[in-house]
Chain A
Amino acid sequence: MSGNTNSNNQNSEVHSQIMWNRLISIVEEQALTLVRTAFSTSVREAGDLSAGVFDREGRLVAQAVTGTPGHVNTMAAAVGHFINDIGPERIYSGDVYITNDPWKGTGHLHDITVTTPVFTGETLIGFFASTAHVVDVGGRGYGPEATEIYEEGIRIPIMKWAERGKLNTDLVNIIRNNVREADQVVGDIHGLAASNETGRRRLVAMLDEFEMDGLDDLAEFIFDRTRKATFKALEGVKKGSYKNVMRVDGYDHPLDLVVDLAVSDDGMHADFTGTSPISKFGINVPIVYAQAYFTYGMLVALAPELPNNYASLLPFTVSAPPGVILNATEPDPVSVRHVIGHFVTDLCLGAIAQALPERIPAEGAGALWNFQASARSADLADPRPPVEVLMFNSGGSGARPEIDGLTATAFPSGVMTMSAEATEQVGPIVIWRKEIRPDSGGDGEFRGGLGQVIELGPIDGYQFEFSAMFDRVDHPAKGREGGKDGAAGKVYLDDGTPFPTKGVEIVAAGRRIILELPGGGGFGDPADRDPAARENDQVQGYVS
């Protein structure tokens, strides 16, 4: 009876929606387990991690929303590499796979990706994968100083961390002997495996409850829905080719990032031809990472409500000739690829702004202002080991077409900072000031987000080896549609001596270093700014 069929269809629609939601809650649970068990502050405080479930062909079905657009496509592509490199015939129940290969994972050695196959009975039905930024991978440590990948630390090819439930103790031993904080790194890898295991158990229980024999039908429903919604969102963009150029500081000389963005019926393609060549230092970007920040920028502008999966990512493709800084290849150093990679979002948003002027914000601070300080006793005979202090900090984001930019807030990265009190509890550091930087947002009808001023130094009797990785010191964030540029960043010692913005330098005992983080660009003609908003800026001290 037609009435019955209609009612069955209606029920199956509701049923599939419920299962999709359940799958998303499973990957959120997977991510949460990782946060709870992680050691590195980058994962547990800042949220630098990702987690997702894949079908048996390695296609991303659902992903947890975490602080890292950089993992969006990179991890989505990774599971395909795992299937190829392990070999389908060697995938067994109880296996766990691992890699930190920058080109098959997420762009640098510090990110470890762990993948776990899911079986029901003898049948492979899918995978869980998760990625975390670990505290150390050996080599020269976290920073741009290495000139080849081989100096940057241990590289783990795609291999088995466990086979049929049995841990690969040889691999554990090799890792333990090659990293500085072995307990924490190995602890984090166990955390990754535990989070996948949580996902696996929940998925098996869900299949049981809904009497499903695999993920294929549900994956098709999800891909079909997402594909339609993605292309619907793309319909609003005028077909054509849009170009943009952004100049940034680079390590030792300025770099141009260039994009030619083609919008067609098939989707969007970003070509980075014309971008500056690779650097001698570790700020180079594997193209998977550039693709992640491109795709993130387009999705956030066009289809913010779409969950990430294979179908939402498929229409966004990239290309670049080998040898440009957005297509680093082995053995280029890539340790701090985020410093350049984070600019790809603003670069591509700047291109698409020509098609969608009313939707795209001005440029912002872009790259996070991360630093690692290795604090050691000023008395060189002191035998105590140095203490590593890592902090993530954010400048201002670009003004939006109808709202001011965000003050001291990460974009495009979504990570968080660490508390000053908590940081002072773990290392011999004093943070003397961490405050809004007035006058740093670009003027406009809508003002750019403000940067911040951070003043810090070692406690008495200590000195820092301070690893800087800061950009937008010579090239501030540009305004849009008549908005003014944001303020450039500054780095100097308390006596006014300029301090290098990339690389390692000593902050001597008793001294302080001052970081003035860049602000975001303004949007629209400053003459059009609402007088009330201008007055409020004065009253609050956002503008002096």
Chain B
Amino acid sequence: MSTDSSTTNGLRIGADVGGTFTDVVFQRPDGTFESSKVLTTHGAPEEGILNGILTLAEEHNLNLADVEQIIHGTTLATNALIERRGAKTALVTTEGFRDVIETRTEGRFEQYDLNIVLPTPLIERKDRYVVTERFNARGEVLIPFDEAGAQKLIDHIAAEGYEAVAVGFLHSYRNPDHERLFRDMLLATAPDIAVSISSEVSPQMREFERFNTVAANAYVQPLMATYLHRLAAELEERGATCPLYLIHSGGGLIDVETAASFPVRLVESGPAGGAIFAAEIAARHGRDRMLSYDMGGTTAKIALIEDYTPQTARTFEVARTTRFKKGSGMPISIPVIEMIEIGAGGGSIASIDALGQIRIGPHSAGSEPGPAAYDLGGEAPTVTDANVELGRLHPSTFGATNINLSPERAAAALVKDVGEPLGLNVHTAAVGVAEVVDENMTNAARVHAVENGKDLAEFSMIAFGGGAPLHATRLMDKLGLAELFVPTGAGVGSAIGFLMAPFAYEAVRSFYTTSEDFDIAGAANVLDELTAEAEHFVRAGTDAPVTVERVVAMRYRGQGWEIPVPVPPGPFDSVAADSLTTAFIKAYETFFGRAIDDLAIEAVSWSVRVASVTNRPPALQSVEASAVAAASSSRSIYDPVLGEMTETAIIERDELVVGSAVNGPAIIVESQTTTVLGSHHVAVVQNDLTLLITRSAS
């Protein structure tokens, strides 16, 4: 067991399996690293990881026996939910509520489609069962648990050969007794069945979201447990005997056993690593408001980092079925790093809609067959194809391993599906695709900021992921931001982020009380239990000192949207309860301009996050330009600032040193990404070799 995730003497490995690429990073004790980017092997994701690891070890003479930690994030759980490749699962609920996950919100996520198809429930009706029992909203028994009926059901479940069972009873976030009783009875009869209960997986009010979350957990559990144990065994076989940890959706590390029990917490773990990376770079450069912009092959992710900490949320939606539309997926209630994800990756496909408008995504060419330019069989025009046509990506400088770019195929695809339908030439079609995807990402960033009550004007931006540095200066201009950071290793930023993550766990529970009659003892009890639970999971990975953050979600009585309010440290007493009310009113004013007088305030849900302490070095001094970097060559590349193709300098990033300045128009190429500077941008290399890009004064 190591003492801290970030202070080790040996090598550390971060491995991120994404929808298109698998990134592997080896970090040496001195902080230097080697990285690789290969196409994801969807059938057996561990193959991509092992290939990446073994290739890097061989090329750079690194010994797997010297590796102290491997940290892994994966889209496998997400993909299993999207592709419905989980276990044979039963859902057991309170009598009267068998169909909650099928009737959903009773709304239509797309108002103007007569032929709308709602997402099929993860667990079909024939696999959903009920038990006679009922608690009221305060967790008191309305109908006692029917043991005889439950046992009969359990015998049926065992006989039917279910591999996993999800249990969700009404108001179990207030009283878990009946769920626990059912689980214990089930395991007594059928010890090999994987059981998930909603009061453990996600003890939050609202039955649709909670039942879905527990169903998703049970559904992917056998698959994820098998995969994780298989990966651990393969790594060990190849000489990596060190512990394997997983990064979870909330951006912390958990051990393999915890991950195997609560695999739903691994959903979106890769992007969470990206946000950790962004927070670390923000701290290193002392920027307390940072917009994190991560663009990969399939999607773009935007998150807000304040005071070097990513924003978090309690619920999100996975497996959206229709055009990434809100409401077309499954809600999952677990702590996550809050981000907005849109279908705007390098592989996102461009098409023309009924109004003759260019649309990008949400479909992605992914790694199979990939963008047209990859020449792997893809025929649809993608964002990457537009970047090839505009000269930003070039066969001679493209980073991902084993891909030979074909500008001819890119142009042909753009002409066929965008140029011809709109009567545009290939160049204008490519400009259109690039502009629309940039505008989509800009709008997503704006809406995300508004949803969080933030004004972007005060933010700096950091760009990472293979696609982001290509588009970032354009976003920076559109959003009116003054600074853009492109750190070293930007192309594999999420995997590097894994290596910066603390051991951390957030426990959340609904507990309802109001400012008129605050249940202080009840709240204190909930906080204590949540703290013990979170600490338990963190202690499975580390003995290091920990921080404890406690937050309560509050709102005016009658409202439906809550504002998070920090709970002051120390025992929870009447002074603490009063301070929550004051803090809520202040936060409300910040969000909406004015508070409302004389209205009761409700505390709705409570959370405790326990995390190992990571010591951050003091921020680096910023560096002024001392020498203008020499171009290795030049070619004609589109400059969105001028709106035309321009002879553009090509700079090798490896040749830049601290203080080097690059004046736009230029592109800076490195092994896993390319940074594009327009004619009014200037980049200055900082002490940690990060590029700091601003608009030139002239």
Contact = CB atoms under 8 A, between A and B. Distances in A.
Interface of A: 7, 10-11, 13-14, 17-18, 20-22, 25, 28-29, 32-33, 35-41, 44-47, 65-67, 69, 135, 181, 183-184, 187, 190, 194, 198, 209, 225-226, 229, 299-301, 303-306, 359-361, 392-394, 400, 402-403, 406-411, 414-417, 419-422, 424-425, 430-436, 452, 455, 459, 539-542
Nearest to A413: B107
Contacts of A33: 450, 592
B355 A414 contact: no
A463 to B, nearest CB: 17
A304 B103 contact: no
A420 B205 CA distance: 10
A18 B115 contact: no
Interface string B194-219: 00000000000111100000000000
Contacts of A181: 558
Given A32-B450, A38-B559, A417-B105, A435 B99 contact: yes
A411 B108 contact: yes
Contacts of A359: 114
A346 B656 CA distance: 68
A416 B136 contact: no
Given A304-B114, A406-B108, A420 B207 contact: yes
A424 B136 contact: yes
Contact of A190 (B99, B206, B450, B594): B594
A540 B125 contact: yes
Given A38-B560, A419-B205, A455-B96, A22 B443 contact: yes
B171 A421 contact: yes
Contact of B97 (A32, A198, A434): A434
B107 A301 contact: no
Given A14-B431, A408-B106, A361 B355 contact: no
Contact of A29 (B111, B170, B439, B450): B450
Contacts of B142: 430
B330 to A, nearest CB: 16
Contacts of B596: 183, 187, 190
B643 interface: yes
A341 B329 CA distance: 31
Contact of B206 (A17, A44, A422, A452): A422
Contacts of B98: 435-436
Contacts, number: 196
Interface string B421-452: 01011001001100110011001001100110
B106 A67 contact: no
B30 interface: no
Contacts of B117: 403
A21 B439 contact: yes
Contacts of A7: 428
Contacts of A69: 111
Contact of B355 (A306, A360, A419, A435): A306
B181 interface: no
A209 B439 CA distance: 13
A170 B208 CA distance: 44
Contacts of B231: none
B175 to A, nearest CB: 12
Nearest to A25: B443
B288 interface: no
Contacts of B559: 37-39, 44
A300 B107 contact: no
B442 to A, nearest CB: 9
Interface string B608-644: 0000000000000000000000000000000000010
B105 A183 contact: no
B189 interface: no
Contacts of A45: 560
Nearest to B434: A14
B353 interface: yes
B237 interface: no
B556 A409 contact: no
B356 to A, nearest CB: 8
B97 A304 contact: no
B97, B107, B599: residue with the most chain A Cβ atoms closer than 10 Å = B107
B118 interface: yes
13 contacts: A11-B431, A14-B432, A18-B439, A35-B561, A47-B107, A183-B596, A300-B111, A300-B114, A406-B116, A410-B107, A425-B137, A435-B97, A452-B103
Top 6 closest pairs, chain A to chain B, by CB? A433-B96, A44-B560, A416-B107, A416-B105, A39-B558, A417-B106
B103, B124, B451: residue with the most chain A Cβ atoms closer than 10 Å = B103
Nearest to B644: A7
B121 to A, nearest CB: 10
A229 to B, nearest CB: 6
A67 B125 contact: no
A422 B171 CA distance: 10
B60 to A, nearest CB: 45
A440 to B, nearest CB: 13
Contacts of A17: 357-358, 436
Contacts of B591: 36
B512 A425 contact: yes
A368 to B, nearest CB: 9
B126 interface: yes
Given A36-B561, A39-B556, A409 B118 contact: yes
A417 B137 CA distance: 18
A225, A392, A420: residue with the most chain B Cβ atoms closer than 10 Å = A420
B148 interface: no
Interface in B96-151: 96-100, 102-103, 105-108, 111-118, 124-126, 134, 136-137, 142
Contacts of A36: 561, 591-592
Contacts of B561: 35-36, 44
B679 to A, nearest CB: 17
A313 B95 CA distance: 47
B354 interface: yes
Nearest to B113: A304
B114 A408 contact: no
B136 A430 contact: yes
Contacts of A400: 114-115
B450 A409 contact: no
A11 B643 contact: yes
B571 interface: no
Contacts of B422: 13
A22 B103 contact: no
B31 interface: no
B593 interface: yes
B83 interface: no
Contacts of B450: 29, 32-33, 198
Contacts of A41: 560
Contacts of A433: 95-97
B443 A21 contact: yes
A394 B106 contact: yes
A540 B118 CA distance: 17
B598 interface: yes
Nearest to A415: B107
